[in-house]
Structure 1
Amino acid sequence: MSGLYHIAMLWVEGPLSYVEQLCVQSFLDAGHEVTLYHYGPVSNVPEGAKLVHGDAILKRDNFIQHGRTGSLALFSDVFRYHMLTQSERTIWADTDAYCMKPFETETGHYFGWESAHHINGGVLGLPQDSDALAGLLKMSDDEYGIPFWYSDAAKAKLAAQAEAGNPVHVSELPWGIWGPHAVTAWLQRTGEDKYAFAQEVLYPVPFDLRRKMAKEGGRKAADRRLTDKTTSIHLYGRRIREFLASRPDGLPDDGSLIDALLKKHGIDPTAAPVISKRDKADAAE
């Protein structure tokens, strides 16, 4: 049994692309044990990762989806809070989190700033007795709840809609409401934000530079963001997959950062291609 923290991930169903393969493999190669939770058939899972049905953590008849995008991020947010509450010595990692070096923590807290304004929960470690974790879990029980961190005017507007019999569902609120927005607010409310890493640790490459990770010409710009304190790189899964799918053969440039990481971990991108939204829709027809 590894002395390192266990890594837990979720992939609801379907084949992993080489992006997710890379991220799962990076944790395995760093010495972590990895559990990939799922709800439907999953393929292209790296050898060594343990597959566990999500019902072991959270039984759901329906998955909360974001109203505008249809994303399952809201369900993923809820799932990770339940998982962390039920699991010892476990750190959550999204399937687009690449592990640079082993994740280590003495307190069980493991998260970081993605910008000057918010802490991202894409990599999230919280001890089971964390007050912030308890708050996040309770919050996610009410799909029509009003975020406490909203301004008085915004809260009053939502309250008025609820009183009029037209409460606003969480899926109609802004993107990330139960994710980074809630994580930041609850950690700040409980004072646990003091454990947050600087941006260079978990989110060194910002969103607006994400495509440079797939381009040979962007390699230096991406590499400059990495330091000896960096333990993870956020690859911006859905967005980077769509970008890669639009490129020749669906591959990153030779010599790009993502290309170098694929080669480092022995991942063959042609064996688990990225699939665009359009291709998925065509396949479903």
Structure 2
Amino acid sequence: MSELHEIAMLWVEGPLSYVEQLCVQSFLDAGHAVTLYHYKPVFNVPEGATLVHGDVVLKRDEFIQHGRTNSLALFSDVFRYHLLNQSDRVIWADTDAYCVKPFVTGTGHYFGWESGKHINGGVLGLPKDSPALAGLLEMCGDEYGIPEWYSDEMRDKLRLQAENGVPLHVSELPWGVWGPHAVTHYLQKSGEDRHAFSREVLYPVPFQKRRRLVKSGRRSAAEAYLSEATTSIHLYGRRIREFLASRPDGLPDAGGLIDHLLEKHRIDPRAAPIPVRRAQAEAVAQ
């Protein structure tokens, strides 16, 4: 049995595209056991991944969705915190996290800076006794709570609004409020941010340069951002799917990084295409 931590992921329903297939397969090929949680039927799941219904972690009648985009990212945030609180030797990974090399941790902490301001939770390992994890779980218990990291002026404004009978639901707050913003705050509050990796480890390709993951050519090469320290590459799921859907046959450039990785892991992109209609809808929602 592998001594590596198990990798946990969530795909609520529907087919995986070749982008998600690639990420799941990358962890399997690195030697990790992978559990893909879901709530409705899913398809195109790489052989070797274990499918588990999400109810074993968190029963929900309704999914929390972002008010502007209808994204399920808020629910995914809540789900991962509950999962980590219930699990031993598990690291969370979003389905757009590609594994470059095995994830190894002696403390249970596994996360990194995405920018100069935020630690991202797209890859997140926290021990069950983590004070930051406890803070995140407490936060998620109140969907109308006022983030404690907001300025006094903003907190007073939201408090007054609540007192007047119109509290603001988390789905109406800015994108990432229960994700990177909260993760960064609680890790810094507990001092666990000392475990955070530098950007090159988990998020080497900047968001602004994400299209270089798809394109080929010297000026577009995403490989320039990688280093020996890199263990994961964030593929910016919905954004990269939207870009891929706009291209001929929904495919990356031959010779580009994603094309190279698909070949490496024997993923046939034509067998699990990008759902063009969904990708376009996501683009409009942004």
Q: TM-score range by the shorter chain?
A: over 0.9
Alignment of 1:243-282 (within 5 A): 243-277=243-277
Task: Give the drift of 1:121.
Answer: 0.1
Q: Residue 107 of structure 2: SS of its match in structure 1?
A: coil
The count of aligned residue pairs is: 281
Q: Give the residue type in structure 2 aligned to 1:255.
A: G
Q: Which residue of 2 aligns with 1:57?
A: 57
Task: Give the drift of 1:275.
Answer: 1.1
CA distance in 1, matches of 2:243, 2:113: 25
Name stretches of at least 5 consecutive residues in structure 1 with no aligned partner.
none
Task: Give the drift of 1:280.
Answer: 7.9
Q: Give the residue type in structure 1 aligned to 2:142.
A: D
CA 85–132 in structure 1, closer or farther in 2 if over 3 Å, else same: same
CA distance in 2, matches of 1:194, 1:251: 40
Q: Which residue of 1 aligns with 2:86?
A: 86
Report if aligned partners of 1:108, 1:127 keep a CA contact under 8 Å in 2: yes
CA distance in 1, matches of 2:219, 2:3: 34
Task: Give the drift of 1:221.
Answer: 3.5
Q: Give the residue type in structure 1 aligned to 2:76.
A: S
CA distance in 2, matches of 1:3, 1:148: 38
Q: Which residue of 2 aligns with 1:119?
A: 119
Report if aligned partners of 2:242, 2:279 keep a CA contact under 8 Å in 1: no
Q: How many percent of aligned residue pairs carry the same amino acid?
A: 75
Task: Give the drift of 1:279.
Answer: 7.1
Q: Give the residue type in structure 2 aligned to 1:237.
A: G
Question: Normalising to structure 1: TM-score of the pair?
Answer: 0.97
Structure 1 moving runs of 4+ over 6 Å: none
Q: Which residue of 2 aligns with 1:102?
A: 102
Q: Residue 120 of structure 1: SS of its match in structure 2?
A: strand
Deviations for 1:64-86, whole angstroms, at most 9, x for unmatched residues? 00000000000000000000000
CA distance in 2, matches of 1:278, 1:55: 25
CA distance in 2, matches of 1:195, 1:90: 16
CA distance in 1, matches of 2:164, 2:258: 51
Report if aligned partners of 2:4, 2:31 keep a CA contact under 8 Å in 1: yes
Task: Give the drift of 1:136.
Answer: 0.2
Question: Normalising to structure 2: TM-score of the pair?
Answer: 0.96
Q: Give the residue type in structure 2 aligned to 1:41.
A: P
Q: Residue 32 of structure 1: SS of its match in structure 2?
A: coil
Q: Give the residue type in structure 2 aligned to 1:79.
A: F
Q: Which residue of 2 aligns with 1:231?
A: 231
Q: Residue 7 of structure 1: SS of its match in structure 2?
A: strand
